[in-house]
Amino acid sequence: MNDSPAIALHGLRKRFGQLTAVDGVTLEIGRGEVVALLGPNGAGKSTTIDLALGLSNPDEGDARLFGGTPRQAIVAGRVGAMLQGGALLPTLTVRQSIELVAAAHRHPLPVDEAMERAKVTDIARQRVAKLSGGQMQRARFAVAVVSNPDLLILDEPTAAMDVEARHVFWESMRAFTEEGRTVVFATHYLDEADSFADRIVILNRGRLVADGTPAEVKAVVSGRVVSFALDAAPAGLHDRLATLPGVRDVERRGERISIQTADSDATLRAVLADYPAAHDVEVISRTMDDAFLALTHDAAEPALQEALR
Amino acid sequence: MRIRYLALEVLRQLKNTRNLVFTFALPVVMLLIFGSVYGSGGQVDDSTHLPWLAVTTIQMGGYGAMMSALAQAFTIVNERSLGWNRQLRITPLSGAGYLTTKVAASLAVAAMSIVLTFGVSLIVFHTPLGVGGWLMAGLGLWLGVVPFALIAILIGQFAKPEFAQPLFMVTFFGLAIFGGLWVPLSIMPDWVSNVAQIVPSYWLNRLGQMGALGSGDALAPAVVLMVWTIALGALIVWRYRRDAARA
């Protein structure tokens, strides 16, 4: 029981009428991992989270948390969550909301500590009905952490937050993950997945289409781009570059040349050896957006999926 | 079940001012009107031989208590549509624990309503009934409120938000009128008195009246309300399990 993964999903399937929202998801998340769950709308992220928490029952497959049923983990106070469509009561203050939920748990954190962690101490006495979108999310975060959970599941935690609020939120999150707790968050913001997760899981149409570190997800999909300027381009440059190691594609715009490559190190060494006059050299990873679009675009699927399994 | 959660939840319901107005004010106002118009002569009720004022007070106390319990339906519907129940499902609070807090909240509000109605009756009309009579009548009404708390939970848990309001109104008026909680059944047509025995509110009032008499006839209404409680409880558990499986 002690070594069992925080989350273990096996062959989860869930249908709503004709629609198969989750279509055979198998996923293990170890303790201490910080995992981003990405996918377009309707990819099955929220349904997967509901199944993992035992809030709804799968048609096939099963979900285990810390080796037991989701309910056992929840009763033991090991799970905290911010869910889609899970709101606080508008007539209560932030503090009262946290107190009420804390009272339902067996070994909650002191309310003040939960407020400190979620940075809601300054809005403790405000009524929930009067909170801004970002404040509301922070209050919900406080409610999620008050059970002092080992596993935190957050469904789009920074929706409705402005840039500053998102920054503050991730700062308090980081303090949380540094204590070795497991965090799974669904998000639409790819840069959040890139900067806060050590692992990214991408869902599309109810299936897992990618699973890897942010660097892996980015690199395997699109490689890197080596670009440089060359004042006087010699004849036959394009064809020569195309034969260099790792090169997939060469593009030229004015004096600037961009090479898509699977091995930027080898490509760059060869370029500099052959063309010492190359200057303003840049090596750029393709962005998470590129990777995401490629992975969730159906035509691109099978080969890329294989690469990331 | 955490005691602290139960206490906070009950307190929260007591603070719900919208409920308080209807729950507490209406039965008191009706008592004051009926009491002033008909109660001054010191009449005695034919069938129970209780002072007419006491009969009316218990009737209104029962109405207030029933209202306290039924009003929980709106709270529950509201909480559900907000997603509060989803939040609760990621706490150790069990389905049974949830039901217990809701019943307890109903009982707490009902107790206040009963005490207030009885208190006004004593202070304004000096209604002649012994301490034992008041206590037993109050206790009867209070415990008799449980099946109504369950009706509220049933409406709250399983009616869609837009359907809850009409369903509540029909249930509420049906129970208030046919149970003889607004107007005594004795002045209604015979068929109403016959219908009355179907609705639990009739037995709630009857339990209060028999309690006031200290009569062994309190047994029948107590048993009827117990049967209602068991039947409603079974229905709720059955629906709750199905609901959880489908959700």
DSSP letters along A2-63, please? -SS-SEEEEEEEEEETTEEEEEEEEEEE-TT-EEEEE--TTSSHHHHHHHHTTSS--SEEEE
CA–CA separation, A1 and A108 (whole Å): 22
Low-confidence stretches of chain B (pLDDT < 50) are 1, 246-247
Cα within 13 Å of Cα(B123), Cβ side: 8
How far CA A133 is from CA of A136, A160, A166, B43, in Å, comes to 5, 5, 11, 62
* Minimum distance, in Å, between the CA of residue B235 and any CA atom of chain A: 21
**Is B240 in the A-facing interface, judged by CB distances under 8 Å?**
no
- Per-residue pLDDT of chain A (309 residues), as tens digits, is 467 999 999 999 999 888 889 999 999 999 999 999 998 888 899 999 999 999 888 999 999 999 999 999 999 999 999 988 778 898 899 999 999 999 999 899 999 999 999 889 999 999 999 998 888 989 999 999 999 999 999 998 888 788 888 888 888 888 888 888 999 999 888 888 888 899 999 998 899 988 999 888 776 555 788 999 988 778 788 888 888 888 888 888 888 998 888 888 899 999 999 888 899 999 987 777 777 777 776 544 454 555 555
Nearest CA in chain B to A93: B12
Tell me the two tokens of residue A294: 């490629």
Q: At CA B229, angle to CA B223 and CA B235, rounded to 5?
A: 140
Please answer yes or no on whether A147 and B12 come within 8 Å at the CB atom. no
Domains in chain A, CATH or no CATH each = 7-78+149-218 (3.40.50.300), 224-285 (3.30.70)
Quote the ipTM score: 0.81
| β partners of residue A62 | A10
Is B87 within 8 Å of chain A by CB? yes
Q: Is B96 on the interface with A (CB under 8 A)?
A: no
The residue among A14, A15, A65, A89 with the most chain B CBs within 10 A of its CB, best to mutate, is A89
Q: What is the pLDDT of residue B247?
A: 43
Residues of B in contact with A147 (CB under 8 A): 91
CB atoms within 10 A of CB A117: 19
Task: Tell me which of B3, B17, B18, B90 to substitute to probe the interface with A (most A C-beta atoms closer than 10 Å).
Answer: B90
Q: What are phi and psi of A180, to 5 degrees?
A: 85, 20
Instruction: Give the C-alpha separation, A107 to A112, whole Å.
Output: 14
Please indicate whether, in this complex, the C-beta atoms of A55 and B245 are within 8 angstroms of each other: no
Give me A107's structure tokens: 């070994």
Contacts of A120 (CB under 8 A, 6+ apart): A94, A98, A135, A138, A139, A141, A142
Measured distance CA(B151)–CA(B168) in Å, rounded = 10
Nearest CA in chain A to B243: A56
Angle at B105 between CA B101 and CA B109, to 5 degrees: 170
Cα–Cα distance measured from residue A10 to residue A282, given in angstroms and rounded to the nearest whole number: 43
Strand residue runs (E) in B112-224: none
Q: Give the one of A74, A85, A104 whose C-beta lies nearest to B86's C-beta.
A: A85
pLDDT at residue A299, as a whole number: 45
Q: How far, in Å, are B13, B73, B105 from residue B19 at the CA level? A: 8, 11, 12
Closest Cα to residue B80, out of A141, A142, A87?
Answer: A87
pLDDT at B48: 73
Q: What six digits make up the tokens of A25?
A: 């998801």
Q: Show me where the domains of chain B are located.
A: 3-246
A55, A75, A86: residue with CB nearest B92: A75
Q: Are A30 and A180 within 8 A, CB to CB?
A: no
How close A182 gets to chain B, by Cα (Å)?
16
Q: What is the DSSP letter of B44?
A: B
Burial class (CB in 10 A: 0-12, 13-18, 19+), B169: exposed
Nearest CB to A57; choose among B82, B87, B245: B245
CA-CA distance, A185 to A19, in Å (whole number)? 24
Whole-number pLDDT of residue B128 = 82
pLDDT the model gives residue A190:
82
Nearest to A79 among B84, B88, B90 (CB): B90
Q: Cβ separation of A104 and B92 shorter than 8 Å?
A: yes
Predicted local confidence at residue A39, as pLDDT? 87
The DSSP symbol for B24 reads I
